[in-house]
Amino acid sequence: MKRVFSHPLIALALGLWLRLFFLLKYPVASSGDTVLYEDLATNWFKHHVYAMTVDGSIVPVDIRMPGYPAFLSLIYSLTGRVGPSARTCVMFAQAAIDLLGCLFIACAVVYLFQTAFGLANKNPAFRAAFWFAALCPFLANYNAVLLTETIVTCVSAIAFCLLIRLAASCSELFDPIARLKASWDKSPEYWAALFGLSVGAMTLFRPESPIFLISAWLALAWFFWKHRELRRWFKLALISALFCVATLSPWAIRNAITLHEFQFLAPKDANLPSEHPPYGFMAWEKTWLYRLNDCYDVTWKLNEEPINLSDIPPRAFDSDSEKLAVAALIAQHNQSLSLTPEQDAAFGQIAKQRSSRHPLRTFLWIPFQRALTIWFTPRIELLPLSGNVFPLRQSWEDDSTDQLVTAGFFLLNILYLVLALCGFLRLWKLSPRIRPVLFAIAVYLLLRTAFLTTVEAPEPRYVLVCFPLLLALAAAAIVPRPAQDVSSREKSA
């Protein structure tokens, strides 16, 4: 029985069942940007124009990166269906892509152990990682919604594999005595090019993805500098950057021709050319907003629905006079469901005053709380659950079943994070050869988290792209150390 349940095909079958469970039981389908992506894909498929429908007219835009609309358009061309009628087909395609991503996560763990310990038995590492990834509900439940997370997570797993290959191909630089042979028979330039391509592919879905490329080379710079090989570092970094840019070049050329702007990424504030982002309102939010529920109550109602003053938490006001000023601005917004430039400037002035009174709150404490929000969460935004773990007694009295399930997912998320940290520390301690990759992972997680604390809405889904790395490290924490390793040679080195 133990051998049966350790087989990867069993994990594949259970992983497929888990994804079908979410698809059939909780088919969210539409959430957040889904309608926007469908509109872009439909116009691309029907009219061969990357455009939105605005007031009945087709308007070329660059409001979102083209990767996911291209994926939807491909599904439309294969099925002959568009929009909501094609959502089921899209979700099944995403489930298949997600399982493919699980295979790459398992391969990443195999590469980690091969890099760390030489030519070791790959089966235990592959099995453990594949089971971890296939049965991860945080990956599986996003198959049931039309957003970028599933595909970009798969591409992230591929990029992670290529980063390990790249670092291993340079192993003669970091550990000349224990240089790996046969397993890494390609040149560092080859892997640098593929790594750049993979990050470029990620960027076609999520515009902040170059953080992965920047983080990797910032981390590897230390090891190259330590061995006085900065020229080689610069060459490899340049190759990967050029291939990343080459992947994005068709998008930039399209923007230059159609929109007369040389733009490789989507606009930071995801606005139409005729729209003016509410910078003052966003600056005010950054002085107090760190919970996802506040985004539903305030952020996403702006210019769409009336905002209730009672839904704004007390921490948004430093005094009664400030609350009265905000109340007046909210009342004006609710009358027309639009924020004028003058009202936005007034919010900006309030934000400036709050930041001057409590700079640490705005620039340190609120970003830190946002980081906690996106990392330490039940990750059940797509499920019909409250998401409330605390206060324990109140949540239990309100709905004990809801609280049990929510708390279970919350603890599961923490378990993944703890295991990933244990796997990181274990590999760092056991093998110097794997340290360049581990250092790159650490830098990437820190930089991406820091960036996400500046984003208007602290959505936990934005760190899902990091889960291939976390699941790989979590599996590394429980995989037995290979019997045939090179620890003795490491000590002699």
Query: Rounded to 5 degrees, what angle do the CA atoms 307, 334, 363 make?
Result: 50
Rounded to the nearest 10 degrees, what angle do helices 149-169 and 87-117 cross at? 20
| Among 2-6, 62-66, 300-304, 417-421, the least confident range | 2-6
> Distance of CA 221 to CAs 217, 230, 295, Å?
6, 7, 39
Using CA atoms, how far apart are residues 278 and 299, in angstroms rounded to an integer?
A: 11
| Among 21-30, 79-88, 341-350, the least confident range | 21-30
Phi-psi region of 484 (alpha: psi -120 to 50; beta: other; left: phi over 0): beta
If one compares 80 and 271, the residue with the highest pLDDT of the two is 80
> Distance of CA 68 to CAs 23, 203, 274, Å?
19, 11, 24
Q: Report residue 201's pLDDT band, with 50, 70 and 90 as the boundaries.
A: very high
pLDDT tens sequence across 133-143: 999 999 999 99
Q: Report residue 491's pLDDT band, with 50, 70 and 90 as the boundaries.
A: very low
The arithmetic mean of pLDDT across residues 198-206, rounded, is: 95
pLDDT at position 393: 67
Handedness of CA 197, 201, 202, 206 (dihedral sign): positive
Q: What are phi and psi of 53, to 5 degrees?
A: -95, 110
- Alpha carbons within 13 angstroms on the beta-carbon side of residue 205 total 20
pLDDT tens sequence across 279-312: 999 999 999 999 888 888 898 888 888 999 999 9
pTM here is: 0.89
- Contact (CB, 8 A) for 347 and 299: no
Residue 78 has pLDDT above 90, yes or no: yes
Residue 176 has pLDDT above 60, yes or no: no
Residue 184 has pLDDT above 60, yes or no: no
pLDDT tens sequence across 89-109: 999 999 999 999 999 999 999
pLDDT at position 490: 44
Residue 174 has pLDDT above 60, yes or no: no
pLDDT at position 363: 93
Residue 170 has pLDDT above 90, yes or no: no
The arithmetic mean of pLDDT across residues 41-70, rounded, is: 90
Using CA atoms, how far apart are residues 347 and 302, in angstroms rounded to an integer?
A: 13
Residue 493 has pLDDT above 50, yes or no: no
Please name the residues in contact with 71: beta carbons below 8 A apart, sequence gap of 6 or more.
41, 93, 151
If one compares 187 and 399, the residue with the highest pLDDT of the two is 187
pLDDT at position 272: 63
Q: Report residue 487's pLDDT band, with 50, 70 and 90 as the boundaries.
A: very low
Residue 158 has pLDDT above 90, yes or no: yes
